[in-house]
Amino acid sequence: MMMMIWKRNPSHYWKRVGSITTVSFLLATAGLAQIKTAPEPPSYPGQTQPARSEDAWEVQQRKAMEKKSNLERQQDIQKDTEKLLELATELKQAVDKSSENTLSLDVIKKAELIEKLAKQVKDKMKGP
C-alpha cells in the first residue's frame, strides 16, 4: 500500500512519514516524562555527600565498622607500646650489666627488635 501512495503522490508519502515520526517522538517524550526518579535529599552547608547513594543502614554499618577497626588498632598500639617499654627496660638492664668494652649479642638483638616494633607502632599510628 505504501508503494501505491508513493507512486501516486510522493509529497503525501512524506507527510505521512513525518506525521508518524512526530507522533512517535511525542509518545516517547511523554513516556520519559512519566518516569519518576527518587528525589535528592536536601543538602546543608558542611554536609558531605556519600560517593554513591547509600541508605541510612549502610552508612550506620560502615561507621560502626570504622569505629571497631579504630578501637582494635588502638588496642594493638597499646599492646605494642607496653612490649616496647618492657624491651627497653630489659635493654637498659643488659647495658648496665655490660662493661664499656663488651656488648653482648643479646643487647644488639634487643635493640633491633625495639627498632622494628617502634616502626610498626609508628605505622599503626598513621592509620589505615
Tens-level pLDDT at each residue, the chain (128 residues): 455 545 566 666 656 666 676 766 666 666 655 665 656 666 777 666 655 566 888 889 989 999 999 999 999 999 999 999 999 999 888 888 887 777 778 888 889 999 999 999 998 888 76
pLDDT at 53: 65
Alpha carbon separation from 77 to 8, 17, 70, 74, 125 (Å, rounded)? 91, 76, 10, 5, 7
Angle between helices 56-97 and 105-126 (to 10 degrees): 160
Task: Identify the pLDDT of residue 102.
Answer: 76
pLDDT confidence of residue 12 = 61
Is the separation of the CB atoms in 77 and 124 below 8 Å?
yes
- Cell numbers 558531605 label which residue? 48
Query: Distance between CA atoms of 88 and 91, rounded to whole angstroms?
Result: 5
Which pLDDT score is estimated for 34? 61
pLDDT at 65: 93
Per-residue confidence (pLDDT) for residue 39, from 0 to 100: 64
> Which cell numbers in the block locate residue 102?
663488651
Angle, alpha carbons 117-121-123 (nearest 5°): 115
pLDDT at 119: 92
